[in-house]
Amino acid sequence: MRTDTGQIVHLADYRPTDFVLERVDLTFELDPTNTKVEARLIFHRREGVDPTAPLVLDGDELTLSGLLLDQNEVPTSQYDVTPEQLTVRDLPAESPFEITITTYINPEANTQLMGLYRTNGIYCTQCEAEGFRRITYFPDRPDVLAPYTVTIIGDKAANPVMLSNGNFLGGAGYDEGRAFAAWFDPHPKPSYLFALVTGDLGVVEDTFTTMSGNEVALKIYVEHGKEPRAAYAMDALKRSMKWDEERFGREYDLNIFQIVAVSDFNMGAMENKGLNVFNDKYVLADPETATDQDYANIEAIIAHEYFHNWTGNRITCRDWFQLCLKEGLTVYRDHEFSADMRSRPVKRIAEVRHLKSEQFPEDAGPLAHPVRPTKYREINNFYTTTVYEKGSEVTRMIATLLGRDMFKKGMDLYFERHDGDAATVEDFVKCFEDASGRDLTQFSLWYHQAGTPLVTASSSYDQSSGTFTLSLEQMVPATPGQSTKDPMHIPLSFALILDNGSLATPEGVTGGEVTEDVLHLTERRQTFTFSGISSRPVLSLNRSFSAPINLHFDQTPADLAHIARHDTDLFARWQALTDLAMPNLMQAARDARDGKDVTCDPALIAALLEAAADETLEPAFRAQALTLPSEADIARELGSNNDPDAIHAGRTAVISAIAEAGEKSFVHLFETMKPEGAYAPDAESAGKRALRNIALSYLTYSEGSPARAAEAFASSDNMTDLAQALTLLAHRFPSSSEATSALASFLTRFDGNPLVIDKWFSIQATIPGADALSRVKSLMENPRFISTNPNRVRSLIGTYAFSNPTGFNRADGEGYRFLAEQILAIDAKNPQLAARILTSMRSWRSLEPQRADHARAALTTIERAANLSTDVRDIVERMLK
């Protein structure tokens, strides 16, 4: 295991390498426990570099077994080597030279799943961020780009498929029993985009003709027998390729594009050049085993990895501080793609729900960091929702500030100017400045200042002058390492909604810049005055969530209901309903804690039921409207001294009140919202199922019986409905015989399909209440739970810690103690996975004192444990600081 080295990397220390890498030639002789890697690297000394400077290469747990310089053995006096570093001295001052390095590695023993490892008999690699150095000594950093030739030699019978990046050169029998294959990737790439996959896999094939007429072979590799479940992924891939041509003018650049689905993977997927490797969860789907959400995820992630071909691969990052350059931008691109494929407002609602539930807590807690950080200890811990999702929001704001056409000009300039580069965030922003002539200096603070800005708004209307005045104040909270902040440039989309629902068009605005429907808040305090407004308007602010901020605006329930009814921006209508619900839910939590009766404002109930029944609205939107803020959302709004049991009790009481009042409508929706015909995963049918299922969920409260959910479970013909019915049975009636028998029949029916069994684990891990812990413990004893498989670990332990507020935050602290033990056990094998799951405790300081004490004690146990990985040490120390 790799234990902590404790070094902090600073952006300010960046400097280019002394040597330029010209070419890479790799030969792998595969063996499960002793794979031979020969790397031939051609370098030349960069101009102006000290002619005596040595070549320093990175390694990680490596043993050197051969070192040649221009084919001659290098005397031991000429180099130093440790498992982490190889330093070679006395190299040519000017002419290029060739270094040949031989290492032997053990893929079978690689439980970190970084570098070359084995999964279900398949050899597979994951090199981002610093996995390549576990394969050979190398300048393992993203600003070192070279074309790669890769030769793979391996057992013929076990490895009929042998893949690497780029175009296939050839392959055949090598000697008795062994085969070889050779690949050449002409596009210079950094080592983190290297990939190798071999094994006995099935393949689904198709083709795509690019806009300039090149035919690209498309191949998706899966385990034998699973080919039919890759059809949707293939369809999503072709749509992604087409969309990127149409929307961003980006064409694919090799004659083959391959995707491999593997069952052991630390993350969602990886954009290796021409050879994407995926967690099989994000490839495999059919109606019987995948939910609508699974289909939507597959579509988004296939698109995301494909889009990286330009934003990430053709233009990569200069260093890992620039991670958001590829990730934030690519998330923005996949969001836009999904919005075009599905319903734009419904997609936006889902994005904002996710942003608020994952990124806002990160930005408000001990792990807060800027979108473009300036230091890190373990780069794997910076693949965060801040870099990804807030990074996407920042890109989205550039589009909002500049408008669609200027944004496109800026993107075109970026692709033109930086193709082939390892670029920086500054390079990216400069393209938009140059394309638009707009100064983005203040705007760039979004990359550099952590914390979610808080905007406080107040407004007044003066009938006699026909003016509407809006006062805004912004505050960016202090975050670790950043105690004072400068005012940000915050683009706020707005509308003034009149009594009859139409939008007012002001004659003039003073107090700051306004472009189209966007107010530019740039000062700490700013007052905008709109003139020519004939009657009191209702202000809808931050429409479409144009800026990722917290907004405090004391709007009356009547005004919110007016927005919910009339705004032309559907997102804003949803937001208004949420704003209407939130104070109710917060008060409910307080009342529940104080042992008082919980009440629900009839105006909230009326607004929700009105939206639910409004047939002019798409069902998916109506389902979102009925889905109240989560317990975690309420905890975030309350901010401190949180008691998860009280929040749960309060929210449950509010739901019950809505369920009672709306029972008739819910029965109607449940009976009518059934998509016609056989299951199809399209957004419209998915929307109907979502609306029907949320109605069913309310009915379990008003009817107080598992009967209807049990009947839905028995009669469903797709995984979306089945999983939802099972969830309701298990969560609402955990001790009923209906729940027990549904869980048992689900297990029998899907035994042998681990991705479905993951749902079975997750549903049980999230049953509310203190008993969840003993349930999770006994599920860990189930033979289907494989403690080395990241999907199993996430679906049981991860889901329990992240998504079961009452079960995990037991008042006696047992949930935290359990997690601490698990983190240490996981860390010994897979530090990245352990560190990720540990972030579930990032909001521990906002718990009530007794729970917070237990949480601190559990974190301290982790901190004091011997042999912690850098990954876990970095997280736990930041959380305790």
Residues tagged active-site: 305
Strand pairing class (467-475; 454-462): antiparallel
Give the closest residue to 470 by CA, choosing from 387, 546, 398, 537.
537
Q: Write b or e for each residue in 655-666: b if 16 or more Cβ atoms lie within 10 A of its Cβ, otherwise e.
A: bbbbbebbbebb
For Zn ion, the closer CB: 43 or 265: 265
Which partner from the list Zn ion, ligand ARG, none does 55 bind, CB cut-off 5 to 8 Å by kind? Answer: none
Q: What is the DSSP letter of 95?
A: S
Strand pairing class (275-279; 316-317): unpaired
332 binds ligand ARG (CB under 6 A): no
Contact yes or no for 166/84 (Cβ under 8 A): no
Give the closest residue to 832 by CA, choosing from 305, 265, 137.
265
> What 3-state class would DSSP assign to 452?
coil
Q: Write b or e for each residue in 493-515: b if 16 or more Cβ atoms lie within 10 A of its Cβ, otherwise e.
A: bbbbbbeeeeebebeebebbebe
Q: Give the binding range for ligand ARG (CB under 6 A) out of 116-124, 266-274, 743-751, 785-793.
A: 266-274
Which partner from the list ligand ARG, Zn ion, none does 128 bind, CB cut-off 5 to 8 Å by kind? Answer: ligand ARG
271 binds ligand ARG (CB under 6 A): yes
Task: Give whole-number Cα distances, 778 to 460, 673, 711, 768, 771, in Å.
Answer: 59, 38, 28, 16, 11
Which partner from the list ligand ARG, Zn ion, none does 555 bind, CB cut-off 5 to 8 Å by kind? Answer: none
317 binds ligand ARG (CB under 6 A): no
Give the closest residue to 662 by CA, choosing from 609, 599, 585, 601.
609
- Supply the minimum distance, in Å, between the C-beta of residue 303 and Zn ion: 11
For Zn ion, the closer CB: 266 or 330: 330
d(CA 45, CA 67): 19
Choice from 140, 280, 305, 351 touching ligand ARG (CB under 6 A): 305
Q: Give the binding range for Zn ion (CB under 5 A) out of 163-171, 242-250, 325-333, 508-516.
A: 325-333
Q: Give the binding range for Zn ion (CB under 5 A) out of 322-330, 604-612, 635-643, 685-693.
A: 322-330
Contacts with ligand ARG, 116-155, as mask; x by CB under 6 A = ------------xx--------------------------
For Zn ion, the closer CB: 46 or 354: 354
Task: Give whole-number Cα distances, 853 to 140, 612, 864, in Å.
Answer: 42, 43, 16
For ligand ARG, the closer CB: 115 or 734: 115
Choice from 55, 241, 267, 628 touching ligand ARG (CB under 6 A): 267
For Zn ion, the closer CB: 270 or 586: 270
Which partner from the list Zn ion, ligand ARG, none does 292 bind, CB cut-off 5 to 8 Å by kind? Answer: none
For ligand ARG, the closer CB: 790 or 805: 790
Full DSSP string of 423-440: E-HHHHHHHHHHHH----
733 binds ligand ARG (CB under 6 A): no
**Omega before 129 cis (within 30°)?**
yes
91 binds ligand ARG (CB under 6 A): no
d(CA 734, CA 730): 5
- Supply the minimum distance, in Å, between the C-beta of residue 311 and Zn ion: 9
Q: Which positions from 379 through 438 interact with ligand ARG, judged by CB under 6 A?
A: 380, 383
For ligand ARG, the closer CB: 264 or 305: 305
For Zn ion, the closer CB: 271 or 362: 271
For ligand ARG, the closer CB: 301 or 349: 301
Which partner from the list Zn ion, ligand ARG, none does 233 bind, CB cut-off 5 to 8 Å by kind? Answer: none
362 binds ligand ARG (CB under 6 A): no
- Supply the minimum distance, in Å, between the C-beta of residue 326 and Zn ion: 7
d(CA 518, CA 402): 11
277 binds ligand ARG (CB under 6 A): no
- Supply the minimum distance, in Å, between the C-beta of residue 341 and ligand ARG: 19
Contact yes or no for 407/432 (Cβ under 8 A): yes
d(CA 386, CA 365): 12
Full DSSP string of 466-532: TEEEEEEEEE---BTTB---PPP-EEEEEEEE-TTSPBP--SEEESS-EETTEEEE-SSEEEEEEE-
Strand pairing class (55-58; 85-88): antiparallel
- Supply the minimum distance, in Å, between the C-beta of residue 478 and Zn ion: 30
Q: Give the binding range for ligand ARG (CB under 6 A) out of 7-15, 261-269, 400-408, 556-564.
A: 261-269
Which partner from the list ligand ARG, Zn ion, none does 380 bind, CB cut-off 5 to 8 Å by kind? Answer: ligand ARG
Helices (H), 594-682: 602-613, 619-626, 631-638, 644-661, 663-672
| Residue 698 CB neighbours (<10 A) | 25
Ranked by CB distance to ligand ARG, the top (closest) residue is 383
For ligand ARG, the closer CB: 195 or 598: 195
d(CA 227, CA 205): 10
Q: Give the binding range for ligand ARG (CB under 6 A) out of 226-234, 268-276, 444-452, 481-489.
A: 268-276
Contact yes or no for 601/587 (Cβ under 8 A): no
Q: Which positions from 91 through 110 interact with Zn ion, judged by CB under 5 A?
A: none
Choice from 124, 145, 153, 269 touching ligand ARG (CB under 6 A): 269
280 binds ligand ARG (CB under 6 A): no
Q: What angle do CA 470, 472, 476 make, to 5 degrees?
A: 165
For ligand ARG, the closer CB: 100 or 279: 279
Task: Give whole-number Cα distances, 812 to 734, 818, 861, in Å.
Answer: 22, 12, 16
- Supply the minimum distance, in Å, between the C-beta of residue 793 and ligand ARG: 16
- Supply the minimum distance, in Å, between the C-beta of residue 308 and ligand ARG: 6
Cross-strand pairs, 575: none
Which partner from the list Zn ion, ligand ARG, none does 378 bind, CB cut-off 5 to 8 Å by kind? Answer: none
- Supply the minimum distance, in Å, between the C-beta of residue 40 and Zn ion: 30
Choice from 24, 69, 105, 270 touching ligand ARG (CB under 6 A): 270
- Supply the minimum distance, in Å, between the C-beta of residue 267 and ligand ARG: 4
- Supply the minimum distance, in Å, between the C-beta of residue 298 and Zn ion: 15
Which partner from the list ligand ARG, Zn ion, none does 264 bind, CB cut-off 5 to 8 Å by kind? Answer: none
Contact yes or no for 327/315 (Cβ under 8 A): no
Which partner from the list Zn ion, ligand ARG, none does 383 bind, CB cut-off 5 to 8 Å by kind? Answer: ligand ARG
- Supply the minimum distance, in Å, between the C-beta of residue 746 and ligand ARG: 31
Q: Give the binding range for ligand ARG (CB under 6 A) out of 86-94, 135-143, 265-273, 822-830.
A: 265-273
Which partner from the list ligand ARG, Zn ion, none does 526 bind, CB cut-off 5 to 8 Å by kind? Answer: none
**How many chain residues touch Zn ion (CB under 5 A)?**
2
Token couple for 128 = 């981002």
For Zn ion, the closer CB: 236 or 661: 236
What lies within 8 Å, CB to CB, of 826 at 6+ separation is: 787, 793, 797, 833, 834, 837
Q: What are phi and psi of 431, to 5 degrees?
A: -60, -40
* DSSP E strand boundaries for 297-374: 316-317
For ligand ARG, the closer CB: 355 or 488: 355
Give the closest residue to 198 by CA, choosing from 33, 36, 30.
30
- Supply the minimum distance, in Å, between the C-beta of residue 188 and Zn ion: 20
Q: Which residues are at the interface with Zn ion (CB under 5 A)?
A: 327, 330
Residues of this chain that bind ligand ARG (CB under 6 A): 128-129, 266-267, 269-271, 304-305, 327, 380, 383
